[in-house]
Structure 1
Amino acid sequence: MIHSEDSSRADVLIVGAGIGGLTLALELHAAGRQVQVLEVAEELGAVGVGINVMPHATRVLAELGLLPALSAMAVTTRDGYYFNRFGQQIHHETLGTGATHAYPQLSIHRGDLHTVLLQAVRDRLGPHAIRTGVKCVGFNQDRDGVAALVEATADGRRLPPVRADALVGCDGIHSAIRKQLHPNEGAPVYSGVNMWRGVTVAPPFLGGAAMVRAGWLTTGKLVIYPIRDNVDGQGNQLINWVAELETPAHKARAWNTPGELTDFSLAFADWKFDWLDVPALLAQAESVLEYPMVDQDPLPFWGEGRVTLLGDAAHPMVPRGSNGAAQAILDARALREHLAEPDVERALAHYEAERRPATSSVVLANRATPPDAILREVYERTGDRAFDDISNVISPDEMEKLLQQYRRLTAGADR
């Protein structure tokens, strides 16, 4: 249903009630701003699969007072492991607070993260802060403000424009705001890798707080980590997994496209290790989603005048390095800080000047030097064979150098 609109004009109009949009609403509310959120979905519910909240993003959420609620739902990730497809350990690293970060790395169901943010927005901003069932199809702006052009999701009828001092497009990978700003933008860039995602109830592995990257894209790569503890009263966890495989063709990008286990499971049929039975994990999944690993070339600009972009609408990236949600959260903090400036247009320009170069570096790093580059090196140096001693394949110093390359490239995006 369409919620009634508050009679007062908002300072900032947020298009999209995803992770970035809701975080921005909380940030701006904390700064004393009047906020209105427009959301195309008629009902907001828990969707998606697992997500990692990196320590720099956890800090922002903690400073919004959300860490207790998030920690109660998430798994605090402590260990990162790299394996080849034969189950041999290549590297181990400590994550989160164990790696000297001030805040933890949280592995959480996307729906749980969204629920915490949504409840906080409703509690703090009131029941009318989010208008659901409203599709933003574009905008107009003038010297006095900006107007979102909106339709009813259910029947497409035109609704009265919604005015504000500024408009932020947080409307995701199919952003209408981005499309209006960049009508001639090219198609998404396909990496040549397709991924399938799912969640499975299973016993804990490797201590119950580990993130595993294993294999390589040519023959099959997996990312596996738990996102809920003791889901059945018997100690089992909800395990999130992502299967990645070089694939010539792919479906159109949509986060919730159903996938088929038979399209990729053969690549992992012999992945039965003493620490995990991968075929069983995949076969027992509650459901499977398919998504091509695509991104967009960094934009020459994010906004004009009183309009800007945030999160996936601004910088869709290949989902590597757990940086998608983190960068949206950092965008929200930066925009709040810049909007302390009284001149709205200058504030948005300064926000873009800070965040656009930083996030562009992450987009490009995810293409060229992702955090799983260690797996690529071992795959190529061994010829995709088991090794006797990993130190004869790649030294600890070389592995650390590869990891540091990604950390340095993404450091500019960590405020």
Structure 2
Amino acid sequence: MSEPLIVGAGIGGLTAAVALAAHGRSCTVVERSPALSASGYGIQLPPNATRVLAGLGLGPALEAVSLRLEAREIRRWADGSLLGSAALDRWDAPYLSLRRAALLRVLHSRIAGVQFGRSFGSADERLVVGADGLHSAVRGRRASDGFGRSFASADGRLVVGADGLHSTVRGRLASDGLVDVGYTAYRAVLPVRDARPVVSVWLGPGAHVVAYPVPDGLNVVAVTDGLHSFDGWDEPVRALARACMRGFVLYTRAPLPAWHRDGVVVIGDAAHPMPPFLAQGAAQAIEDAAALPDYLDDLAGFEAARRPRVERVVAVSVAGGHEYHLADGAEQRRRDKQIAAAEPPGQDWLYT
């Protein structure tokens, strides 16, 4: 088989390129955007992701641009009282937080010779180098122009769709659309220094707020069922929610019948988008990407190896949207008791 073609130079696509290089395989990456994302918003990298990245030789570079988080604290909306906490430093790999752009730079720097900002007139003018690096041909075209659809050629090349929620490669496997999951997320990075190394989560009727430190800031995300004033919420968390100005509707897609067909395979959000309530979207894309080199000639085996775990993660993520936003009452009290009684090994299946 000729070198794989990776469509999308986000977290999943670049991790796949790094993983292929680690297996001595060359590849080509194509990317619609003219440069790496400059997003300064934060991202959580749980141990199941950092373990994979460390195995690809990225551990020191990753920790140089990250913070180690020690615990997750779940709090009540009205008064900030602690419902329960869980240690995040009990596994053999760290739980990190960093800015998304910094993660992309770490992945990018691992692959010698990557170039961004180049524009090419046709799909035949891609640059290809060997397993020690790759070049990125930036098409500079919108999805409506057919970006990604022309890459499944007859030359035996494997096409890896790592082009995210709005994937065009996915269109070769299914004609589906986005599904509004009923939530709007608002986010901000505040200029806070020396914040505690903790993920704080406030749960309340129709909304929840998450805050955690990143280098030189505090990343804040408020997720609501719709318009939400946060009236009556504890004043410190109200202030965090008010600081979140940029909002976007959360979408997902229906499960694909299969992740592959006729030499095309999708990974990450292109294959299995999920709500952000478990902070596992990027981590599962990283797991996909790292597993793929072992299955280049067996895409059915790749899906069989990955799909059961991903489906469990998606199910827990979806359930989180309901559990996090319960109105005060009997169901909320049951949830709070479960949080208080949670045993430390409860997330071992996810993080190990």
TM-score class, shorter: 0.7 to 0.9
1: CA distance, partners of 2:29 / 2:289? 14
2: CA distance, partners of 1:393 / 1:15? 41
Indicate yes or no: 2:169 matched with 1:177.
yes
CA contact (8 A) 1:171 1:313 kept: yes
Pair 243,361 (structure 1): closer, same or farther in 2 beyond 3 Å: same
Indicate yes or no: 2:131 matched with 1:131.
no
CA contact (8 A) 2:152 2:159 kept: no
- 1:275-323 per-position Cα deviation (integer Å, ceiling 9, x unaligned): xx334445556xx332223322211111112110011100011111111
Pair 211,41 (structure 1): closer, same or farther in 2 beyond 3 Å: same
2: CA distance, partners of 1:351 / 1:49? 31
Identify the residue that residue 119 of structure 1 maps to in structure 2: 109
2: CA distance, partners of 1:77 / 1:222? 17
- 1:70-113 per-position Cα deviation (integer Å, ceiling 9, x unaligned): 11111111011010111111111111xx32x1100111111111
2: CA distance, partners of 1:380 / 1:214? 17
Identify the residue that residue 26 of structure 1 maps to in structure 2: 18
Q: 1:51 aligns with which of 43, 46, 70?
A: 43
Structure 1: state its 5+ residue gaps. Answer: 1-8, 146-164, 232-237, 248-262, 384-389
Q: 1:209 aligns with which of 193, 197, 210?
A: 197
Pair 403,81 (structure 1): closer, same or farther in 2 beyond 3 Å: farther
1: CA distance, partners of 2:80 / 2:109? 41
Indicate yes or no: 2:264 matched with 1:313.
no
Identify the residue that residue 305 of structure 2 maps to in structure 1: 354
1:180 offset after TM fit, Å?
2.4
Within a 5 Å distance, the mapping from 1:46-85 to structure 2 comes to: 46-47=38-39, 49-85=41-77
Normalised TM-score (structure 1): 0.71
1:214 offset after TM fit, Å?
0.4
Pair 282,120 (structure 1): closer, same or farther in 2 beyond 3 Å: same
2: CA distance, partners of 1:45 / 1:129? 17
CA contact (8 A) 2:46 2:351 kept: no
Pair 269,217 (structure 1): closer, same or farther in 2 beyond 3 Å: closer
Matched pairs, number: 330
Give the counterpart letter for 2:204 in structure 1: W
2: CA distance, partners of 1:361 / 1:82? 22
Normalised TM-score (structure 2): 0.83
Identify the residue that residue 257 of structure 1 maps to in structure 2: none
Q: 1:13 aligns with which of 5, 21, 32?
A: 5
Pair 133,90 (structure 1): closer, same or farther in 2 beyond 3 Å: same
Structure 2: state its 5+ residue gaps. Answer: 115-130, 142-146
1: CA distance, partners of 2:335 / 2:153? 62
Q: CA RMSD in A?
A: 3.0
Q: 1:223 aligns with which of 210, 217, 220?
A: 210
Identify the residue that residue 342 of structure 2 maps to in structure 1: 400
Pair 215,278 (structure 1): closer, same or farther in 2 beyond 3 Å: same
CA contact (8 A) 1:10 1:36 kept: no
Q: Which range moves more in the overlay, 125-134 or 52-61? A: 125-134
1:191 offset after TM fit, Å?
2.7
Identity %: 31
1:127 offset after TM fit, Å?
7.0
- 1:325-365 per-position Cα deviation (integer Å, ceiling 9, x unaligned): 000000011112223xxxx2xx2121112222321222222
Bigger Rg, which one? 1
1:414 offset after TM fit, Å?
6.5
